[in-house]
Structure formats: structure tokens, C-alpha cells
Amino acid sequence: MVGVEGLGSTLTMLIALFATLAAIAGIVVLEGFFRDKLKELFSDSNYFIFFFLVSGYVLYSIGELSYYLTDVIFENQAPVGIADVYWTGGAIFILISFIALTINLFRLHFNSIKLTTMFFIGLALVISVLILLFGVFIDQEATFFSYFYPIASSLIVTFALSTILFSLQLEDFGADLKFFFLASCGILLGDILFSYVTTTGIDGLPGMISDLSYLFGYGLSLVAFIMLRLRMHRLTI
């Protein structure tokens, strides 16, 4: 039991570390967006999309660090905290950016098969999450955020599917966006299991998988930030 608790503490610390590194890397990318030369890489719509996307993941990362400091270090486990403000803002920013990206891609490269594929995969994902949440939490005292985070993450993954379906059309930044898509998948699984753990009080394996999923998500977002910044630098040389 001690070993499991020790592993859980280690994973939590690693999540905070990766989230901190991701936040720093994301801020570096955001700083680059304000340079005149880098602005030339993006059209007005793409500039909006990438700015909101990067800002969203930075807010996610800051939220994770805030959660670690308040809930783990200072043991101030309030139902709603500052981390929820960052996570909510991050989810909204990321969702807006992927919706805008999806609209832009279908406007320029409309394909009915891809639209149908995205619709049915997304619908199945969202319905599965809703059934899982309401099925598990029906007799539990779940908070608003226990529902909000998994539902928001499922919508993010749904619209982020456009990065896979239109990978060829995304050209230079396609690989970076795929990493953000995979990061969102990890965060979705983490959100589902985290909501399950916090609502039911059952930790153990679900809590460990949740931590590993978040570690995967923040680790990939860090990689995506680094790749994006290096690509931006290379294209401006």
C-alpha cells in the first residue's frame, strides 16, 4: 500500500513538473507570436487559431501547477479553486481554436466523407462520455466540474480530429497539431478518471491511470510547444 501511495505521489510530482515545463515552453511560443516577422507566417485566421490553442494549453498547464500547489503542497482541498479558473479558461480557448480550425479546413478543403467520419466518431465519443458520467455519478454528489471537464475534453478531441483527417493539408504545422490532438486524448482520459475518483472516492488503479494520462497529455503538449517554436524559428530564417 505504501508503495502504491509512493508511486502516486511521484506521478503527481512528475505531472506538476511536466506542466511547469509545458507552461514555460508555451509562454515562449506566445512571445514569438508577437514578433512582426513571425506574424508573417500566419494568415489572420491561422494566427487567431494558434494563439488561442497555445494560450489554452498554457492555461491548462498553469492550472495543473496551481492544483499541485494548493491541493497537494498546502492541502487546501476546496471544492472549487484557482486551478478550476485556469482549467476552464484553457478548455474554452482550446475548444474555440479547434472549432475555428475545423471550420477553416472544411471551408478550404470540403470533403463529405471526412465530415461524416468526424461527425459519427465525435458523436459516439461524446455520447459514450455522457453515458459513463451520468451512469457512474447518478447517485453521487458530483460537482459541476466533474461533468464539465470530461464533456469539454470530449468536444475538444472531437474537433481536434480535423488535424488527423486533414493532416496533408496542414503541411508544416500538421505534426505539431497532431501532438496537441494526442495530448488532448490523454487529458480526456485523465479527466474522466479524475472525475470518477473525486466523486466516488475510489482511488487505486483508476487514480493511477488518471495520473499517467495527465502525464502523457502534459508531456506531449511540452513536445508540441518545442516543435512549434523550432518550426517557427526555422521558417523565419
Q: Which CATH number fits domain 2-235: 1.20.1070, 1.10.150, 3.40.630, 1.10.287?
A: 1.20.1070
With 0-12 / 13-18 / 19 or more C-beta atoms within 10 angstroms meaning exposed / middle / buried, residue 155 is buried
Structural domain boundaries of the chain? 2-235
Element (H, E) at 104: helix 82-108
Contact 15, 211 (CB under 8 A): yes
Taking the C-alpha atoms of residue 178 and residue 181, their distance in angstroms, rounded to an integer, is 5
Q: What is the chain's pLDDT, residue by residue, as a tens digit (237 residues)?
A: 444 566 778 899 999 999 999 999 999 999 887 775 556 656 667 888 899 999 999 999 999 999 999 987 887 777 778 999 999 999 999 999 999 999 999 999 999 999 999 999 999 999 999 998 888 765 667 788 989 999 999 999 999 999 999 988 887 788 899 999 999 999 999 999 998 888 887 778 888 999 999 999 999 999 999 999 988 877 775
Q: Which residues contact 25 (CB under 8 A, 6 or more apart)?
A: 222, 225, 226, 229
Taking the C-alpha atoms of residue 64 and residue 125, their distance in angstroms, rounded to an integer, is 25
Taking the C-alpha atoms of residue 30 and residue 11, their distance in angstroms, rounded to an integer, is 28
pLDDT tens track for 29-81: 998 877 755 566 566 678 888 999 999 999 999 999 999 999 878 877 777 78
Q: Please tell me the pTM assigned to this model.
A: 0.91
